[in-house]
Amino acid sequence: MVEQARLPDFSIWEKLDARKAAIAFDLEVTARCNLNCRHCYINLPAGDRVARDKELSVQEIDRIAQEAASLGALWCLVTGGEPLLREDFFEIYLALKRRGLLLLLFTNATAVTPEHVRLFKNYPPRDIEVTVYGVTRETYERVTRRPGSFAGFMQGLDLLFSSGLKVRLKAMALRSNAHEQDEIARFCRERTKDYFRFDPLLHLRYDGDPIRNEEIRQERLSPEEIAALDSSDPERFETLLRRCPPPDAVPNRGDPSHRLFHCGTGTVNFSVSYDGRFRLCADLWSPDCLYDLRQGSVAAAWQHFTPRVQQMRSERKEFLETCSVCPIAKLCLWCPAHAHLETGELDAPVDYFCRVAHARAAALAGDGSKQA
């Protein structure tokens, strides 16, 4: 049902200075993690030798960073898995720094050591983001399934905060920690007064593991619970209302667009997997949307492969009559990347996402409290 359109004139990219400036990219330095979170879409065991053997070397990472910087990349998000599991993390971090990149780091904080703190103090990242799975040992370890992980999390977080580094906190709203969301929000806001976000929308795994995918589905909140959670947080609700007005204030999109991608992905950003696969965004794992950087360059991927993916089109009648023209699409997790993770197809609607969007729309329209 999905086809690739004729390639556009690539010379346009040379005429657009904006495309060569302020590029950001995500770099997954590993898929391995020391935790085993129920909802995680990427994690493999910390000792997985196959995964470790596939990881980009420091030299490969440095080459990718150099090529990205030459195209105008300024930002790099260092993520995983758990990045601090890499024995050569210090080398990776400094290699990226030497390329002049502003670094963001995602970590669960359980592996943070005084040596890491010294590195970050000497060569500060722009931000460090830590996810809070719970604020009690019982809840935190129900999610992570690792005894002792809560103590490690608190110790790592104390090391980061006591050092004066800029740390941001975030949370996932899961079935396993839903009862503690108010306490999690309070914990985060007390420590990072200018920033806190939570995400109640879970997508499926990159590797398609059916057992782990079922665990993710079991951790999903119902559409009504998500809408009620949004509504219970004034700051979040105001932001949602500002960015996504009620559906009666949003004009219908009109004629359906056959183009799949409307989110701007690949405009000023891209992602690199732990084994060197280039994607327009972190969640886009359709085989037709992957480019192997071990066999080619960032420039070739950015200037030639990316426009090809951006121009992909659909002839699926169901897509053209629903998602393509939906006036509440901004309230939905649906996108080609997530559709592929859910169904194996880039243009297939996803019922759960649709129900979440409609529950949110009802809440924004003023009658969400009746449903919740």
Q: Which CATH number belongs to the domain containing residue 97 in this structure? A: 3.20.20.70
How does residue 15 score in pLDDT terms, banded at 50, 70 and 90? very low
How does residue 368 score in pLDDT terms, banded at 50, 70 and 90? very low
User: What is the number of alpha carbons within 13 Å of residue 295 lying toward its C-beta?
Assistant: 5
- Per-residue pLDDT at 99: 97
At 271 the three-state DSSP class reads strand
Count up the domains in the chain and report the number: 1
Q: Would 108 be classed as within a structural domain? A: yes
Q: Would 346 be classed as within a structural domain? A: no
How does residue 12 score in pLDDT terms, banded at 50, 70 and 90? very low
The pLDDT of residue 175 is above 90: yes
Q: Which residues pair with 282 in a beta bridge?
A: none
How is residue 278 annotated by DSSP? Answer: E
The pLDDT of residue 118 is above 90: yes
- Looking only at Cα atoms, what is the longest distance across the chain? 57
Q: Would 368 be classed as within a structural domain? A: no
Q: Which residues pair with 314 in a beta bridge?
A: 2
Q: Would 247 be classed as within a structural domain? A: no
Pairing between strand 291-292 and 277-279?
antiparallel
How is residue 221 annotated by DSSP? Answer: P
Q: Would 101 be classed as within a structural domain? A: yes
How does residue 194 score in pLDDT terms, banded at 50, 70 and 90? confident
- Domain of 162, in residue numbers: 2-221+260-310
Q: Which long-range contacts (CB under 8 A, 24 or more apart) does 131-134 make?
A: 131/106, 131/169, 131/170, 131/171, 131/172, 132/169, 132/170, 132/171, 132/184, 132/187, 132/188, 133/37, 133/171, 133/172, 133/174, 133/177, 134/177, 134/180, 134/184
Q: Is 121 exposed, middle or buried (0-12, 13-18, 19+ CB in 10 A)?
A: exposed
Angle, to 10 degrees, between the axis of helix 223-232 and the axis of helix 351-362? 40
Q: Is 307 exposed, middle or buried (0-12, 13-18, 19+ CB in 10 A)?
A: middle
**Alpha helices, DSSP H, located in the chain:** 11-15, 49-54, 58-70, 89-98, 114-122, 137-144, 149-162, 181-191, 210-219, 223-232, 234-243, 298-300, 306-310, 317-321, 336-343, 351-362, 368-371
Q: What is the pLDDT of residues 328-349, one digit of tens each?
A: 888 889 999 999 999 999 999 9
User: What is the length of the chain?
Assistant: 372
Q: Would 333 be classed as within a structural domain? A: no
How does residue 3 score in pLDDT terms, banded at 50, 70 and 90? very low
Q: Would 87 be classed as within a structural domain? A: yes
Mean pLDDT of 230-236: 83
Q: Which residues pair with 4 in a beta bridge?
A: 312
Computed over every residue of the chain, the mean pLDDT equals: 89
